[in-house]
């Protein structure tokens, strides 16, 4: 390929998007073999020989095992001669815990960022949830830390709709994503206010904008339990919205999240392939490859 890497090394749990990235970069794809022992430990084996420049591609949702395996893989690549190591993790875990909200809490964003920086020279991700941390390099102090935005491909998808929906961010933190997408798609946008009292307990206050008869797309960076989107949808329905759909970058959708959304009256759910999920409608390989080509 050109400049970025000699090989893309993927993992079976994120094979298709990693292969798409390798194709977009014009690089060979190979896979790290992971065996999970009955006791829960992992054996990690790299394809050999390992070339000088390796790009690992693995999304870090449900991250605890994946992180350990990635650290094994990166350390082994170095031991086997790799000089430049890049990580493309379209979903980067633990970015939301950016401070100790209660005494004694681990600031996991900083700890994970430091570990990744020990292993990699380049880290690329998409829409990291950097709330109080201005830039990715502050969280992940590598020489090259790239935080890409899925706004463009999501906007292209939403702009193609004929009903010109209102894009609504469910909370103040979503303002950056909903604004970026609305600007590119040429659609109206607004932002609601959220109060969270537990993992699955949120209250949404809608902004004072006309909603009766309107199509609305709820836009957020990530959906986890789905409660934020479900409560927003309920409020929108009560305010007379004609249709409520959802567009997120990262489809974590833990547990019963999709059922909760359906019960709240959400119509279509679409997401990027930053996390493999049935709602995936936007592929990120072109965005990632274009950014990597400039590294």
Q: 225 or 272, CB closer to ligand R5P?
A: 225
3-state SS string for 160-209: CCCCCCEEEECCHHHHHHHHHHHHHHCCCEEECEEEEEECCEEEEECCCC
Q: 258 or 292, CB closer to ligand R5P?
A: 258
Supply 126's token pair: 């998409």
In sequence order, what DSSP letters do the residues of 105-153 get, joined into one string?
---HHHHHHHHHHHH-SEEEEES---SS-SSHHHHS--SEEEEE--HHH
Instruction: Confirm whether 99 is a catalytic residue.
Output: no
Least CB distance to ligand R5P at residue 137 (A):
21
Residue 238 sits at φ, ψ, to 5 deg, of -65, -30
Least CB distance to ligand R5P at residue 202 (A):
6
| Beta bridge partners of residue 8, listed in sequence order | 29, 55
Supply 220's token pair: 């957020």
Least CB distance to ligand R5P at residue 224 (A):
3
What single DSSP character describes residue 240? T
Q: 16 or 203, CB closer to ligand R5P?
A: 203
What single DSSP character describes residue 278? T
Asked if residues 71 and 102 have their Cβ atoms less than 8 Å apart, the reply is no
Q: 17 or 226, CB closer to ligand R5P?
A: 226
The CA distance from 204 to 137, in Å, is 32
Q: In a 3-state reduction of DSSP, which class is residue 90?
A: coil
Least CB distance to ligand R5P at residue 200 (A):
7
Asked if residues 235 and 204 have their Cβ atoms less than 8 Å apart, the reply is yes
Binding residues (CB under 6 A) for ligand R5P: these are: 170-171, 173-174, 202, 220-228
Least CB distance to ligand R5P at residue 184 (A):
19
Q: 222 or 285, CB closer to ligand R5P?
A: 222
Residue 232 sits at φ, ψ, to 5 deg, of -65, -40
Q: 148 or 261, CB closer to ligand R5P?
A: 261
| Beta bridge partners of residue 123, listed in sequence order | 87, 145
Least CB distance to ligand R5P at residue 61 (A):
12
Dihedral sign (CA 119, 121, 122, 127): positive
- Catalytic-labelled residue, pool 58, 110, 157, 194: 194
Active site residues: 194
């Amino acid at each position: 390929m050109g400049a970025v890497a000699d090989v893309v090394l993927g993992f079976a749990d994120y094979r298709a998007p990693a292969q798409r990235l390798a194709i977009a970069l014009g690089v060979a794809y190979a896979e790290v073999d992971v065996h999970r022992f009955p006791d829960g430990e992992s054996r990690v084996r790299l394809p050999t020989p390992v070339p000088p420049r390796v790009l690992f591609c693995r999304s870090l949702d449900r991250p605890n095992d994946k992180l350990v395996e990635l650290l094994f893989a990166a350390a082994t690549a170095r031991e086997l001669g790799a000089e430049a190591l890049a990580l493309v993790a379209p979903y980067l875990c633990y970015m939301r815990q950016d401070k100790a909200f209660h005494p004694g809490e681990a600031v996991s964003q900083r700890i994970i960022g430091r570990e990744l920086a020990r292993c990699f020279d380049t880290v690329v991700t998409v829409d990291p949830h950097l709330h109080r941390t201005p830039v990715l390099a502050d969280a992940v102090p590598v020489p090259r830390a790239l935080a890409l935005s899925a706004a463009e491909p999501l906007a292209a998808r939403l702009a193609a709709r004929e009903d010109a929906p209102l894009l609504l961010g469910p909370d103040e933190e979503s303002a950056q994503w909903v604004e970026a997408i609305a600007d590119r798609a040429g659609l109206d946008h607004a932002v609601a206010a959220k109060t969270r009292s537990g993992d699955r307990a949120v209250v949404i206050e809608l902004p004072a904008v006309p909603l009766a008869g309107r199509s609305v797309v709820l836009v957020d960076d990530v959906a986890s339990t789905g409660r934020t989107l479900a409560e927003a949808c309920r409020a929108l329905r009560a305010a007379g919205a004609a249709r409520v759909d959802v567009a997120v970058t990262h489809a974590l959708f833990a547990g019963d999240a999709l059922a909760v959304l359906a019960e709240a009256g959400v119509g279509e759910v679409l997401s990027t392939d930053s996390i493999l999920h049935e709602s995936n409608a936007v592929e990120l390989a072109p965005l990632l490859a274009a950014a990597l080509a400039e590294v």
